[in-house]
Structure 1
Amino acid sequence: MMNTRIYKEVHFDASHRLFHYRGKCHNLHGHRWKVEVWIEGSPDPVSCILVDYNTIKETVEQFDHQIILNQEDPMVQAITPFQEVVTVPGDPTSELLATELAGMIDQKCQDLGLDAHVRQIRVWESPTCYAELML
C-alpha cells in the first residue's frame, strides 16, 4: 500500500504547573499551546483519506480550557471540588504532553481501524519553545 504523510496544526488554551520544578513554572499558569502532528500510513482505498483532520483536532482539543496537572500533585485534590482537572503521569511539560498526545492520537487511529501512526509531534508552550518527539 501507498505510504502517505499528513500534517495538522491545532491550538488550545490550558493551564498547568510543574510540581517538581523550582522556579516560576512551579506556580499555576496558562499558555496558548500549539501542537503540530505528522501522521503516516496507508489511506483508505475508497475515500483516499489517511485520517480525518477533525479526528486529530478533537483529540488534541480535549486539553482545551483545562487545568493539566501531575497526577501526584496535591493541587488536584484542592481544585477537583470546583472543576475537572486533567491529570498526567508526571509534570505536564511540553515533553510529556508530546508523548501523551502522540499516544492518544495513535490510540484513536487504532480504535478507528486506521493504518496510521504519529511519526512526529511538536508541542509548543510559547512562540519560542517546543518539545519534539520523533517516532
Structure 2
Amino acid sequence: MGNIRITKQFTFETGHALYGYDGKCRNVHGHSYKLSVTVIGSPITDVNHVKLGMVIDFGDLKKIVKEEIVDRFDHATIFNKNTPHVELANELEARGHNVILADYQPTSENMVIDFAKKIKSRLPKNIQLHSLKLQETESSYAEWFAADN
C-alpha cells in the first residue's frame, strides 16, 4: 500500500508586532490565523488494529497541534524577545495577558518554521510532516514543505 497525505485545519487568534519593520505591522495588531497541517504515511493494514485504514487518527493529530500550537498561541501576543517590545510584553504579562517571547521576528514565515519543529517532534515515527500552510489573511500565507528542508 502506498503513502497517503492527510490534512487537518486549525484556527487561532494571535497578536504580534514586527519591531523595526517599515510598515503598519510595526504596530501591535492581530490576525485570525488558519493553519493547515499535512502529514504523510501508510494507512494501518492490521485488521485487528482499532485504527485500521488510518494514516493517523485525526483526533491524535488534533491533540498534537492543539497542545503545541493552538493552546499556546491562541489569544496570545508574540514578540521577538530581542526587541524593545520586551518592556511592553512585561507590562502585558503583569496585567495577566498571555505573551510569547520568541527567538525570532514573529512573521508568518518564522512562525511556520517554529510550528514545523514543534509538530515534527511529537509525531509517531511512522508519520512524517509533509507540509504546513499558515494563512495570516485571506490573501497572504506562508508554506513549509519537508521536501524543501
Structures share a fold, TM > 0.5?
A: yes
Which TM-score bucket, shorter chain as reference? 0.7 to 0.9
Q: Does 1:129 align with 2:143?
A: no
In structure 2, the CA distance between the partners of 1:131 and 1:22, relative to structure 1 (3 Å rule), is: same
1:17 and 1:78 mapped to 2: Cα distance? 11
Distance in 2 (CA, whole Å) between partners of 1:129 and 1:53 is 25
Deviation at 1:55, TM superposition (A): 2.1
Structure of higher CA gyration radius: 2
Pairs within 5 Å for 1:68-107: 68-80=78-90, 81-82=94-95, 83-107=97-121
Ranges in structure 1 where 5+ consecutive residues have no aligned partner: none
Q: Name the counterpart of 1:26.
A: 26
Amino acid at match of 2:112: A
2:20–2:26 Cα contact (<8 Å) kept: yes
How far residue 115 of structure 1 moved from its aligned partner, in angstroms, is 1.9
What is the Cα deviation at residue 78 of structure 1?
Answer: 2.8
The sequence identity of aligned pairs, in percent, is: 31
SS of corresponding position for 1:125 = strand
Instruction: Tell me the number of residue pairs that the alignment of Structure 1 and Structure 2 aligns.
Output: 132
Task: Tell me which stretches of 4 or more aligned residues in structure 1 moved more than 6 Å.
Answer: none
> 2:74 matched to 1:60?
no
Matches of 1:130 and 1:18, distance apart in 2: 16
Once residues 37 and 112 of structure 2 are traced to their aligned partners in structure 1, the CA distance between those partners, rounded to angstroms, is: 10
In structure 2, stretches of 5+ residues that fail to align are none
The answer to whether the 8 Å contact 1:18/1:25 transfers is: yes
User: Aligned with 1:90: secondary structure?
Assistant: coil
